[in-house]
Structure 1
Amino acid sequence: MSQRILSTSSFHRHGRVSRCLCGMMFALFVPACGGEANAPAAALPAFSKGDKPLAEPPMYAVGGFHIDLPKETLAPGEEREVCYLLPLDITGPSRIVGGGYVTVGQGMHHGNITSRPKTGEGIRMCPEEEPGTLGGPAGDIIDGGAVLFGSSTQVIGTEWQSFPAGMGFPVRENQEIVARMHYLNTSSEPLEVAPKYEWYTIDESRVEHLMGPFIWVLSGFKIPPKSEYTGIGGCRIPPGMNVVNVLPHVHQLGTRFTGEFMGGPLDGQLFLDSPGYSTEGVIVQYRPAIDLSQGEGARFSCTWQNTFDKTIEEGIGDNEMCMLFGYGYPYEQTYSAFATGPENCIALALPSLD
């Protein structure tokens, strides 16, 4: 497997990046934001209005797989992070995923489900990772795994992550599932949480667009006490990437998440304007997909209203995150972005499927 790395604000400069830096690019659930600026004011163009994915199995489904996570009991106000390894047992002839869903009650802050090369049998806890080594979702993806599911913050009920007909992402053979779960009991009573996930594979002969996952992250923000703050990141991306599904991720102080074209005749034109934190689900699907070739890349922002008498930084608990992850096509032209400001960015392509 090989990767293409595009450094800083220009995609004409290529170079080598350490495995650790690549990890930052694919750390789908690392806290992030940075760079203060005024929030974009452009209106959503008619051609790019997104909707929720269809809450139903994809067309041409021929099989699938599922997991039921072990039950966890949370005390009132308790926050817990757990990680499980589970078998990836696909039924049917296909390894192209066309959609799936999670069903969960109260208590799941969010869940990050990936695949990675198989390391054992049965359901078991993830081993501790050695300090200074690349791990987490970053390592999974760089080692040839897939992003199977990411959920909205504090979602309750059933949330779908499905794709338009003829679209799906690949899952390699000899893989296992990694479920990195962030639980938070915001109630005054103990509760039990046990998420269930289901995926559908589709007929490979019907696949028109093979998709890949991406994550756009901003890093290094500090939100002053009792104030509103907007962080902006921007990244120039090579032509060819089409955005299909996106999932903004912020915590409870988040009030807005935007995505817009960067450069070109559509510079500043919004294709995403999300309310930020919402328990109703914030996954957006574009039909047709957003063609980033209409600009030179993408700019994205998070806005927070800090109600605390303290500075808020990146992290869990009272702290915040700012990231956008999703799926695009074609696979080999889908880029992630790690930004520290409106013009500072590193873009990273997915590992080759060869």
Structure 2
Amino acid sequence: MRTSTSLIALLGAVALFGCSSSETGPEKETPEDQMLEPPAQGAGVQYRMTSTIEPGQEIERCQLFVAPPEGLNVNREVVRYSGGSHHVLLYTTPYTEIPTETRRGVALDASQVHDCNDGPQADWDAKGVVAGSQSPDGNSFLGELPEGVALKVAPGTVLLMNTHYLNASSAPLETDARINLYTIPDEEVKVEAGMLFHYNPFISVPAHGASSARMRCTTEKDISVVRIQSHMHRRGVGYVANKVDLDGEMTALYAHDRWEGVPSQEFSPFLEVKAGESLDYRCDFKNTEDRNIAQGLTTKDEMCMLIGPYFPRSEAYENCASEEGYRASTWFGTGKSTCAEAFSCINSAGDDAAFYGCVVNSCEKVGPQLSEALNCQINGAYGACDEDCSQGAEACNTCILAACADEMEACEAATCD
């Protein structure tokens, strides 16, 4: 049986910033004269990674950099990288100096390119995304922000750059990834921007089957969205994003059927999302393998994300959380299970794929009640059980089940009719 504490542990371990990707071979090379020169002196900074990928090798690599002592006010970003990778990403971290060993206790010089094949979060603490792209020659995440708007990087912040390459050829592949961050002075910054990085952990695709993952995030503040992009792995066959207004009406924003070479949706004028309104997105998957596929950070797993710059910044909403920092997602299934049946399924699930499938296989109508009950347990009854949970699993479970009784009662009453 899955206890409340196991729900907390399972979903608490989901890396909201994880992004491992392609299983394709090298794409066309980006000619050297089309690669980026660094920004002019005083206009920004370039972060660059180069490495050699051996024939037949798939590898994820990382490198840590230190932001300038004056910090960065990023108003524009340009990314270029040689073919063979599905993404290049630049994360912020909580570090103020480059660590001398990984989270797993491995000593290394992280200022140099190094392997991080279990995903960057296995070795380093990543907080959020500054820049990146899923296209070797354009469609970067941040792109260009309006005049006076900037994504801020604190002085001396350690930044983590990450690439994921596959060399399907018979010769070594020389890779080159470059991120240019163009900055503006402090006195020109009128509004701080942020980067949406909404991550749906409830993905389960049966062997030789299909499924969908859908999530809704409601903002507590008025925001303006500049552009959005999707992120899926190779089983992704469809994607749609909508805006939901205060009356529940949905307006289509973005739809496509690509998991690589992903297009971005630009908004001109900017997409205004008012307090109480939501962004709602869905990923459709088709699995041709002989095994079940669940969400995760590697190419053996799947992802369903909505990414994009917006302003003014709401750090909580970037990760689909409340202003108090608690998970606040609403998940909608595409099956026929009631809320009570979904929780019964969760309690008997034998592995992660089955657990995530319990939500995927619930009916759309019970999404709000199921999500409220899950969020109450995942969030430890929104802090009410912090003291009990510090005393062990039994005390934690007893407190959470009592504190979340109203949400569970509403779940029990919710049906698909």
TM-score (normalizing by structure 2):
0.59
1:265-304 alignment to 2 at 5 Å? 265=247, 267-279=249-261, 281-293=262-274, 296-304=277-285
1:72 aligns with 2:61: no
Q: Distance in 2 between matches of 1:305 and 1:20?
A: 24
Please list the CA deviations of residues 225-254 of structure 1 after superposition, one character each: whole Å capped at 9, or x if unmatched. 333322111233313132223221111221
% identical equivalent positions: 20
Task: Give the Å deviation of 1:113.
Answer: 0.8
Matched length: 288
Matched, 1:171 2:160: no
The answer as to whether partners of 2:98 and 2:111 remain within 8 angstroms in 1 is no
- The answer to whether the aligner puts 1:109 opposite 2:86 as a matched pair is yes
Higher-strand-fraction structure: 1
Contact 2:76–2:181, Cα closer than 8 Å, also in 1: yes
Q: Distance in 2 between matches of 1:136 and 1:300?
A: 30
**What is the correspondence of 1:1-354 to structure 2 with a 5 Å cutoff?**
24=14, 27-29=16-18, 63-76=43-56, 78-89=57-68, 95-116=72-93, 117-120=95-98, 123-124=111-112, 139-141=125-127, 147-152=129-134, 155-160=135-140, 161-187=143-169, 189-262=171-244, 264-265=246-247, 267-279=249-261, 281-293=262-274, 296-315=277-296, 316-332=298-314, 335=317, 336-337=319-320, 339=329, 341-342=331-332, 343=368, 344=371
Shift in Å, 1:98: 0.7
Structure 2 Cα separation of the partners of residues 311 and 140 of structure 1 = 28
Q: 1:314 to 1:241 in 2, by over 3 A?
A: same
The 3-state SS of whatever aligns with 1:101 is strand
* Residue in 2 that maps onto 1:6: none
How far apart, in 1, do the equivalents of 2:54 and 2:216 lie? 39
TM-score between both structures, scaled by the size of structure 1: 0.69
CA distance in 2, matches of 1:295, 1:105: 42
Task: Determine the C-alpha separation between the residues in 2 that align with 1:262 and 1:294.
Answer: 11
Q: Which residue type is aligned with residue 87 of structure 1? A: V
Query: What's the secondary structure of 1:299's corresponding residue?
Result: strand
1:9 corresponds in structure 2 to none
Do the aligned partners of 1:235 and 1:298 also contact (CA within 8 Å) in 2? yes
**For 1:244 and 1:333, how far apart are their aligned partners in 2?**
16
Please report how far the alpha carbon of residue 272 of structure 1 lies from its aligned counterpart in structure 2 after TM superposition. Answer: 2.1
Whichever residue aligns with residue 115 of structure 1, its letter is T
| Structure 2: distance between partners of 1:22 and 1:253 | 25
Asked if the contact 2:85/2:165 (under 8 Å) is kept, the reply is yes
Q: CA offset at residue 219 of structure 1?
A: 1.0
Distance 1:255 1:125, change over 3 A: same
What is the rounded CA distance, in whole Å, between the counterparts of 1:112 and 1:135 in structure 2? 15
Contact 1:114 1:178 in 2 (8 A): yes
- CA distance 1:85–1:294, shift in 2 (3 Å): closer
Task: Give distance in 2, aligned partners of 1:127 and 1:320.
Answer: 21
Rg larger in structure: 2
What is the CA–CA distance in structure 2 between the aligned matches of 1:285 and 1:180, rounded to whole Å? 25
Bigger fraction of residues in helix: 2
Distance in 2 (alpha carbons) for counterparts of 1:297 and 1:181: 31
- The question of whether the paired residues in 2 share the 8 Å contact of 1:260 and 1:300 is answered with yes
For residues 166 and 310 of structure 2, the distance between their equivalents in structure 1, rounded to whole angstroms, comes to 30
Q: Residue 169 of structure 1: CA displacement?
A: 0.6
Tell me the alpha carbon deviations over residues 152-191 of structure 1, each in whole angstroms, 9 at most, x when there is no partner: 1xx3335542223332211111122211222222445432
Aligned-pair CA distance for 1:317: 2.5
Instruction: Give the Cα–Cα distance (whole angstroms) in 2 for the partners of residues 225 and 20 of structure 1.
Output: 22
The offset of 1:202, in angstroms, is: 1.8
What secondary structure is seen at the aligned counterpart in 2 of 1:193? Answer: strand
Cα drift, residue 218 of structure 1: 0.8
Q: Offset at 1:114?
A: 1.5
In 1: Cα distance, 2:295 partner to 2:161 partner: 22
Question: What is the CA-CA distance between 1:340 and the residue it aligns to?
Answer: 7.0
The aligned amino acid for 1:312 is I
Could you tell me which runs of 5 or more consecutive residues in structure 1 were left unpaired when the two chains were aligned: 1-17, 32-55, 129-133, 349-354
Amino acid in the other structure paired with 1:301:
R
CA 217–151 in structure 1, closer or farther in 2 if over 3 Å, else same: same
Structure 2: runs of 5 or more not aligned: 1-7, 21-35, 100-109, 321-326, 333-367, 380-417
- Any idea what SS the aligned residue of 2:331 has? coil
The 1:317–1:188 alpha-carbon spacing in structure 2 relative to 1, beyond 3 Å, is farther
Q: CA deviation at 1:303?
A: 0.8
Question: CA separation in 2, counterparts of 1:226 and 1:183?
Answer: 27
Contact map agreement 1:82 1:182 (CA 8 A) in 2: yes
Alpha-carbon offset, residue 263 of structure 1? 5.1
